Structure 1
Amino acid sequence: MIKEDFSASRTLKTDPLQADLVIVGGGLAGTCGAITAARAGIRVILVQDRPVLGGNSSSEVRLWVLGATSHMGNNNRWAREGGVIDEILVENMYRNPEGNAIIYDTILLEKVLEERNIQLLLNTAVFEVQKSSPDTIGGVKAFCSQNSTLYELTAPLFCDASGDGIVAFGAGAAFRMGAEAKEEFGEKFAPDAEYGELLGHSLYFYSKDTGKPVRFIAPSYALQDITKIPRYRRFNAKEYGCQLWWIEYGGRLDTVHDTEKIKWELWKVVYGVWNYIKNSGNFPEADTMTLEWVGYIPGKRESRRFEGDYILKQQDIVEQLQHTDAVAFGGWSIDLHPADGIFSEKPGCNQWHSKGIYQIPYRSLYSRNIKNLFLAGRIISVSHVAFGSSRVMGTSAYVGQAAAMAAVLCTRKNLLPRQLGENSINLLQKELLKSGQYIPGLALKDEEDLVQQATLSSTSEFVLQELPPDGPLLPLKDSAAQMLPIAVGKMPDISLWLWAEKETTLTVEFRCSSKPANHTPDVTLETQEIHLHAGRQQVKLSFQSIFSQPCYSFVCLLKNELVKVQYSNVRVTGVLSVFNQTNPAVSNYGKQEPTEDIGMDTYEFWCPQRRPAGHNFAMQIHPGIKVFSVENLRNGIARPTSQPNAWVTSLQDTNPSVTISWPEKKQIRRIELSFDTDFDHPMETVLMAHPETTMPFCVKEYILCNDRNERIYHQPDNHQTRNTIHFEQPITTSRLVIHLKTMQGKVPASLFEVRCYE
């Protein structure tokens, strides 16, 4: 029993905690950052003011995670973010293809709880920043409402991933809120006052069919006149959750301090919308439906952006400018919304895509005037226009990982964030690449990797000389193209199988991208008019184009509804078909064509189809394309870029293996393997159901053997991109043999990368 007499005052229980890095904010940026830093060996305190992790992606808000892949709706091929966020997305696909937000919560919590270097504080809000000097944070105070405990958190380094920037703001860091004028950075897409300076908040609802009539009596505060929403005719009984992202409000208000006011307005709208669906009589199918869930907190898009040593701008994105300190990439469209949100007469968003992914520099990930403060998530140093792209969660998580790895190196080398960028940026890039963080234009060069000293051999190497005609025969209702990787030299001859309903002429264009690493077919090299007779026929295409550097080529068959194309059931790592179709969800209407000079490019969209669709063209290729060499395993790039960058085995190889040999015995403590989990797949986390739980290109079962043909490791059920194998006692061997035993699908076995360490 506890009994206390009257006291004039009492103090809260106070718990002082210390770590190497304090991360404030448990959205994806903070979560992925904490895991990254903890795995690299430093002690992390992760502070989250909500009961679950994930921020806007959590069950509290339920927005799907997206980044550079943009729902597979742009030309950014193989652009899903890597590292920890990739691991989370792949795991969620494996366990939760139905997109259950609760299951997704458990995956995030599990990933954090498995790291012994992370101390997680849920339901804990930072409310005060303490300074050890005018430009240095000494500690923060936070309060947990659930255990009535005050925490005093100290560390040499802090990372603000809180969304509104509670630590950076309290520390006095320079920030911006709202849109810059066009003149400040020369950004032609900068919005005017009518469009507004801020993106608003959104709040979603879920509905379900109960199978019996359900009535709905709206609360008194529900919006009564649905016609106040100019786009009210878009509402229907089928869409729910983040399909209704355009239920948005608050861009004319203070999106930090007016959040509760914005939430109430969104509640009014949501209940008014459901009242309209249930009781207007326009949706008889809603008679048996009930309102299952309404968000209690809104998903925030924009508030403060803090200034680093570099402010990312529209030109960085559109022109894909190169930065010597690149540590991450983005690729979502520049996606700005009218400030009046759902009450605006304007479209719900205004998305403009670049021709490829863009680099994000390290200088944008720390405060320019608080010495020990990293920035992560949507508050990084960007202009309002660039923020329209960098704000999405896949990109936010990616920069969180980069900031966390920088904190690790600062801890090891006793440096501050700016000093690390000035003295050790190459080391930071190297450590990020080793952790699975792809950085455009960079390849890993790791002198400690024993594979770099070895001789590589394999049982086979795939040569792309035929994709058999065993797939569907489909009409050419939209223009279609086969992407083919070309090394250097003349484009090989191609033979296709086509069927014509009657005599017709088919236009074939041979294209490539204006930038070798891009996948936008914006350069037409050759055009051929092919006369087709009625019926099935094999068509040979000869091209004269010669390539001086590796890239992807596009054999484009332009739309002709009299023609059917024979496809193949064979799928191969780094080989893909794309289609000039539309995806209105990301403002893709087949072609991006600005009607005024807003600093954006005009070009066509050629995007893949999701499996089980999206077959490759059936074709014969002469001479065969040889870009799937075993040497790709150590080229430092673990995903397709301008080339597949994978060792791929022959279709006829039933027991493929790669042998890594050294002239003398080596002691191996750790092996890193990178598999193909289809970086083209966006793997939306919630709401959207997926037909697959594993990616067909991923090796399911593999075995490692030493120079005595003894099994040293067996993985019977892999589905992840990166596999790290630690040996408690080092393996002594002059040879490592990797047997790829089973695939997740009927595809040739493939492997992106092998690294070995003493």
Structure 2
Amino acid sequence: MIVKTFNKEKRDCKTIELVCDLSITGGGTAGVCAAITAARKGIKVVLIQDRPVLGGNASSEVRLWILGATSHMGNNNRWSREGGVMDEILVENLYRNPEGNAVVFDTVLLDKVLNEENITLLLNTCVYDVNKSSDTKIESIKAFNSQNSTEYVVKAPLFCDASGDGIVAFKAGASFRMGAEPKEEFGELFAPDKSYGELLGHSMYFYSKNTDKPVKFKAPEFALKDIKQIPRYKAIGKDDKGCRFWWFEYGGRHDTIHDTEHIKYELWKVIYGVWDYIKNSGEFEDVDNMTLEWVGTIPGKRESRRFEGLYMMKQQDVIEQQEFDDAIAHGGWAIDLHPADGIYSKLSACTQWHSKGVYHIPYRSFVSKDIDNLFLAGRIISATHVAFGSTRVMATTGLCAQAVGMAAALCTEKSMKPADILENGEIKNLQNELNIVGQSIPNIPIKTSTNLISEANVQASSTLEISEIPFDGNWFSLNISAAQLLPFKANQSYNFKMLVKADGATELKVQLRTSEKSKNYAPEVILESKTFKLEQGEQYITVEFSNGTPNDQYAFVTFLSNDKVSLKTSNKRYSGVLSVFNGVNKAVSNNGKQVPPANIGVDEFEFWTPHRRPEGQNIAMKIYPAIQSFKSDNIGNGYVRPWGEVNAWVADLNDENPTLKVEWDETKTISEIKLFLDPDYDHPMESTLMGHPEEVVPFCVRNYTIKDLDGNVLHVEKGNYQTINTFKPNESLNLKGFTIEFVHPSKDVPAAIFEILCQ
């Protein structure tokens, strides 16, 4: 029993002081990825989250799916899903949670953080103040947990603000912006005017479900009474739920920080008014047994403060795919701006303009220009309002924040400030350390000098040569144009034989296309075009493209739409090879072709995108000469995904025991062997609601054995589903070489591996 008598002085809450190497405020995808990356490099991290769960907008409190450069497979960014910890989280969620349950996703994130002994996690803890040791240096931050009535003082040499609204940076006095820059400041032709609005609003969602008996609904008094106040009310579907209502948005005309509570009440008004409309208007059938299962209690924020770093990204960096010497990540989501009036706007709910491919994001945008020991992460990084329209999405922020975590580890190791990484070649070290853990910075491979595999002779028991994509699949109707995306050798002529079926006499046009930029996948350049006269029934056609491509690059064997024609497909799938279609994906403003208004600084081009499995089979064909891009020479080139070329060794499916043999001229001391496998970087893996057809992607090697050259087993892996597999023996091994014996993922998918890293 505790009895406390009256105290005329005020009482203080319990206070705990924590000292760490890196203090991170904000436990969304950015904060989580930064914390895990830093902790795995051995530094002590305190991760502070003001909510009861991790994930921010991806958590069960908001339930927005995680997306990034893959953009719902609705753009031309092939094999662009974010790597490293971000990939690891999404692959883990696919395995545990293919149905996309947001509550289960909470546990995936919590597991990842709790498994890192170097992370101290503070949930339900709100940072409210900052102490500075000088004008430009933070000494500590103060936070309060209302659940345990405890105050925390966190001291660190380095701080990262991933809080969304930028509470640490704001309190520290860092320069920031809210609203849209005028066109003139950065020459951004897409900068919106005030009539469109300068801020994106907040969103809230709801879930409904069917029960086994009628359920009535009496709307609360605050609910929206007139559904016609929502100009797009006819787009509301009774079976839609969760983030399919992303356009339930409000607040862009308000202060999106200080007016958040007002915005929340307005969104509740909308949600309960919409449900009243669904249940009681008589406009919907079969709703008697439906009930509300869940309504969000906090809004998902899109935009508030953006803080100024050493460089501010702008529209041209995104659209023109600007390359930076200090690139630490890639982006690829469209420039996605929304009218400030949100759900009450008569304008389109969003305006998305895509670049032709992925673009670099520079390290400088994550370093405060004012506070010496402050990193920026998440949606508050240094970008204009227009560029922010692309960089703000969660898979991108998670990928970028990994660079912050790694940079903090390097700063800790070498007693540097964040800006020091830009000097004396340290940015190259940061880029390499990131790529070693799967960052895949475009055009920047892992340094051969840091991988002993570069000194080894790598031999394979077999190598895939695609002389035929077997004719063992279904028929695909060419009611939309289709193409087979294949890696071509420069200036090589190719001959293709396809099986087609015509409903009657007609013509079929076949084209060879490629991209202006050799590492893009937008087939805007038509290299050759052939027309074939078809008779009714099944028949083979043979097309020869004599000129080939100007570079070693991907090209598209393209079949223009004709609803009288079908193509034979194949059940075989191969790493780095897929079919694409000139279809429509309304979810990301993809109508088959991007046709922007004049003078907004955006390109016009077609979209050629894959279909989600189990659809999207390769187009069956015989190919001469065979595609020979899958050799073991790819092992050691530093790329861990397709980038311009396949960059993978792929075994022949007829090889019953596919094996790689790695051998050095002299014995090497090996402390770690890391395998980079194929998690299908083209699959977006939306974290919630969407659902996916598999628990493990079909290209991923699940079973393999590592042996020394004498046949002694070093490691056996069974049931793998993750991208990066690390074998770290208890003691370093002295090896002249080793073999890896693989098992094909299935009878239709050969074993493949992008890279082996030996250190």
Same-fold status (TM-score > 0.5) = yes
Name the residue aligned to 1:325.
326
Give the 3 Å change call, closer, same or farther, for CA 211–491 of structure 1 in structure 2: farther
Q: Separation in 2 of the partners of 1:205 and 1:217?
A: 17
Q: Separation in 1 of the partners of 2:399 and 2:692?
A: 23
Q: Separation in 2 of the partners of 1:493 and 1:641?
A: 24
Q: How does 1:373-384 map to 2 (within 5 A)?
A: 373-384=374-385
Is 1:305 aligned to 2:309, yes or no? no
Q: CA deviation at 1:746?
A: 2.7
DSSP-derived class of the 2:729 partner: strand
Is 1:704 aligned to 2:706, yes or no? yes
After superposition, the C-alpha distances for 1:162-191 in whole angstroms (9 at most, x for unaligned) are 000000000000111000001111101000
Is 1:437 aligned to 2:443, yes or no? no
Q: Separation in 2 of the partners of 1:668 and 1:33?
A: 28
Q: Which amino acid aligns with 1:419?
A: D
Q: How does 1:168-567 map to 2 (within 5 A)?
A: 168-423=169-424, 424-567=426-569
* Segment drifting more, 402-411 vs 80-89: 402-411
Q: CA deviation at 1:452?
A: 1.2
In the comparison of the two structures, how many residue pairs are matched?
Answer: 757
Q: 1:574 aligns with which of 552, 576, 597?
A: 576
Note if contact 1:49-1:123 (Cα within 8 Å) is conserved in structure 2. Answer: yes
Q: Separation in 2 of the partners of 1:144 and 1:115?
A: 22
DSSP-derived class of the 2:672 partner: strand
* Segment drifting more, 345-354 vs 734-743: 734-743
Q: 1:644 aligns with which of 643, 646, 664?
A: 646
Q: 2:660 aligns with which of 652, 658, 661?
A: 658
Q: Moved runs in structure 1, 4+ residues, more than 4 A? A: none
DSSP-derived class of the 1:525 partner: strand
Q: CA deviation at 1:731?
A: 2.2
Q: CA deviation at 1:491?
A: 3.2
Name the residue aligned to 1:3.
3
Q: How does 1:708-727 map to 2 (within 5 A)?
A: 708-727=710-729
After superposition, the C-alpha distances for 1:110-134 in whole angstroms (9 at most, x for unaligned) are 0000000000000000000110100
Name the residue aligned to 2:106.
105
Q: CA deviation at 1:679?
A: 0.1
Q: Which amino acid aligns with 1:482?
A: Q
After superposition, the C-alpha distances for 1:138-162 in whole angstroms (9 at most, x for unaligned) are 1100001111111000100000000
Q: Which amino acid aligns with 1:481?
A: A
Is 1:13 aligned to 2:18, yes or no? no
Q: Separation in 1 of the partners of 2:504 and 2:549?
A: 36
Q: Separation in 2 of the partners of 1:742 and 1:446?
A: 28
Q: 1:623 aligns with which of 612, 622, 625?
A: 625
Q: Normalized against structure 2, the TM-score is what? A: 0.99
Q: Separation in 1 of the partners of 2:82 and 2:388?
A: 18
* Segment drifting more, 85-94 vs 4-13: 4-13
Note if contact 2:494-2:548 (Cα within 8 Å) is conserved in structure 1. Answer: no
Q: Separation in 2 of the partners of 1:390 and 1:337?
A: 15
Q: CA deviation at 1:745?
A: 6.6
* Unpaired segments ≥5 residues, structure 2: none
Name the residue aligned to 1:53.
54
Q: Separation in 2 of the partners of 1:711 and 1:547?
A: 45
Q: Separation in 2 of the partners of 1:637 and 1:286?
A: 52
After superposition, the C-alpha distances for 1:507-555 in whole angstroms (9 at most, x for unaligned) are 1111000001100001111111111122211111111224342210001
Note if contact 2:201-2:256 (Cα within 8 Å) is conserved in structure 1. Answer: yes
Q: Separation in 1 of the partners of 2:31 and 2:707?
A: 39
DSSP-derived class of the 2:639 partner: coil
Q: Which amino acid aligns with 1:734?
A: K
DSSP-derived class of the 1:409 partner: helix
Q: CA deviation at 1:664?
A: 2.2
After superposition, the C-alpha distances for 1:379-406 in whole angstroms (9 at most, x for unaligned) are 0000000000000000010111011111
Q: CA deviation at 1:595?
A: 2.7
Q: Which amino acid aligns with 1:263?
A: K
Note if contact 1:237-1:285 (Cα within 8 Å) is conserved in structure 2. Answer: no
Q: Separation in 2 of the partners of 1:446 and 1:255?
A: 47
Q: Separation in 1 of the partners of 2:462 and 2:285?
A: 61
Q: How does 1:65-104 map to 2 (within 5 A)?
A: 65-104=66-105
Name the residue aligned to 1:141.
142
Q: How does 1:598-617 map to 2 (within 5 A)?
A: 598-617=600-619
After superposition, the C-alpha distances for 1:686-709 in whole angstroms (9 at most, x for unaligned) are 111211111000001010001210
Q: Separation in 2 of the partners of 1:676 and 1:210?
A: 41
Q: Separation in 2 of the partners of 1:91 and 1:356?
A: 27
Q: CA deviation at 1:667?
A: 2.4
After superposition, the C-alpha distances for 1:13-66 in whole angstroms (9 at most, x for unaligned) are 110100000000000000010000000111100000000000000000000000
Q: Separation in 1 of the partners of 2:272 and 2:416?
A: 52
Q: Separation in 2 of the partners of 1:174 and 1:581?
A: 44
The sequence identity of aligned pairs, in percent, is: 56
DSSP-derived class of the 1:729 partner: coil
Q: Separation in 2 of the partners of 1:42 and 1:747?
A: 40
Q: Normalized against structure 1, the TM-score is what? A: 0.99
Q: Separation in 2 of the partners of 1:17 and 1:110?
A: 22
Q: CA deviation at 1:422?
A: 2.3
Name the residue aligned to 1:29.
30
Q: Separation in 1 of the partners of 2:574 and 2:372?
A: 48
Q: Separation in 1 of the partners of 2:643 and 2:664?
A: 29
- RMSD over equivalenced CA pairs, Å: 0.9
Give the 3 Å change call, closer, same or farther, for CA 719–52 of structure 1 in structure 2: same
DSSP-derived class of the 2:293 partner: strand
